[in-house]
């Protein structure tokens, strides 16, 4: 690069940062939601979904399914706050059928969302998925990655696309293994998931060190856990940003006592989003700040916590009793900005 061109670039950056040039700015919203057992009513002989059938232990009926489907569509529309989310990560969905029902048979149909999904090796048959608006996110590539051959669990979904006809965004959707059987006993499974996710991110960076990486999911671990902070190596210091590191956007909210689930009366943050450090720089083509990440905690997603103080997410079932809620998790979302 010659000195004249370098001077011009520096001068333009100076003008933009001081308000002398008004760039064309576009906003894109990304959300993630654990839908808590978004099952159809049909028995799949290949998975352990018998509980969510009309004759199963939850007596899961078509009417209950429709109520949940329509409520999920309402939440997605509400998260958009007038502008529909461009990219939606989902977990605890059973199959392509329930996704088609969501994007075709509800008011979401007019937004023409496309689906990235495949059946995972999870024993219960629950998967991760991605919905996207093709006018705002041009999908270039998709793949699914197995966490381990030793145990059956959800895969890591990877999607690469052009956001806002401007720059490439690499998206990972996750649902790490749960703490069922005990946190310590199950931790090696989440470590395996974190190692595979880190390997995939490193692979993207090896191709392009300035790659825009966005990670979302239910990690079944809090930001200060070893799995997140040491294995995935996600940073929480926003005062010293390195483009080669991942940054956990949930940390500032967690420090305020906020969370996405409530366990034994305490809010915990396990539905997380991470971005590569370059996306925290407002001179990057796609950028955000830690304050652009939020929890969608409107009243109709909550109910009174009779066992403890305050409110809690209104889930679909409490034990075997139908509760009529949507999920035991709250959705999270992130506002991304693009300057053209």
Query: Is 68 contained in some domain?
Result: yes
* CATH number for 324: 3.60.10.10
Query: Is 59 contained in some domain?
Result: yes
Query: Is 9 contained in some domain?
Result: no
Low-confidence residues in the chain, pLDDT < 50: 20-21
Query: Is 117 contained in some domain?
Result: yes
Structure confidence at residue 180 (pLDDT): 80
Q: How many CB atoms neighbour CB 15 within 10 A? A: 11
Query: Is 66 contained in some domain?
Result: yes
Q: What is the pLDDT of residues 91-146, one digit of tens each?
A: 999 999 999 999 999 999 999 999 999 999 999 999 999 999 999 999 999 999 99
Query: Is 95 contained in some domain?
Result: yes
Structure confidence at residue 7 (pLDDT): 60
Structure confidence at residue 20 (pLDDT): 47
Enter the pTM of the model. 0.91
Query: Is 3 contained in some domain?
Result: no
Which residue range forms the structural domain that includes residue 112?
29-339
Query: Is 7 contained in some domain?
Result: no
Number of domains in the chain: 1
Structure confidence at residue 163 (pLDDT): 97
What is the spatial distance between Cα 49 and Cα 243, in angstroms, rounded to a whole number? 43
């Amino acid at each position: 690069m010659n000195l004249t061109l370098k001077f011009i670039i520096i001068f333009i950056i100076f003008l933009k940062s001081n308000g002398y040039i008004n760039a064309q700015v576009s906003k894109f919203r990304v959300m993630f939601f654990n839908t808590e057992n978004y099952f159809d009513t049909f028995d799949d002989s290949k998975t352990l979904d018998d509980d969510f059938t009309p004759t199963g232990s939850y007596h899961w009926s078509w009417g209950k399914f429709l109520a949940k489907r329509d409520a999920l569509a309402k939440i997605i529309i509400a998260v958009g706050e007038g502008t529909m989310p461009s990219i939606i990560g989902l977990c605890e969905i059973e199959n392509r059928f329930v996704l088609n029902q969501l994007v075709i048979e509800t008011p979401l149909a007019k937004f023409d969302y496309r689906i990235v999904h495949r059946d995972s090796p999870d024993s219960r048959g629950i998967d991760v998925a991605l919905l996207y608006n093709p006018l705002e996110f041009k999908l270039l590539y998709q793949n699914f990655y197995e966490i381990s051959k030793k145990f059956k669990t959800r895969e890591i979904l990877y999607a690469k696309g052009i956001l806002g006809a401007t720059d490439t965004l690499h998206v990972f959707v996750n649902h790490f293994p749960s703490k069922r059987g005990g946190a310590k006993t199950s931790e090696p499974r989440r470590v395996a998931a974190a190692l595979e996710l880190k390997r995939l991110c490193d692979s993207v960076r090896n191709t392009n060190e300035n790659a825009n990486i966005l990670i979302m999911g239910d990690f079944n671990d809090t930001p200060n856990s070893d799995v997140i902070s040491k294995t995935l190596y996600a940073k929480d210091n926003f005062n010293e940003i390195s483009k080669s590191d991942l940054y956990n956007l949930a940390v500032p909210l967690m420090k305020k006592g906020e969370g996405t689930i409530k366990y034994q009366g305490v809010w915990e943050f396990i539905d997380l989003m991470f971005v590569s450090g370059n996306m925290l720089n407002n001179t990057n083509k796609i950028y955000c700040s830690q304050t652009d990440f939020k929890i969608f905690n409107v009243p109709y997603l909550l109910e009174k916590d009779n066992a403890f103080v305050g409110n809690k997410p209104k889930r679909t079932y409490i034990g075997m009793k139908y509760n009529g809620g949507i999920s035991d998790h709250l959705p999270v979302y992130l506002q991304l900005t693009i300057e053209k």
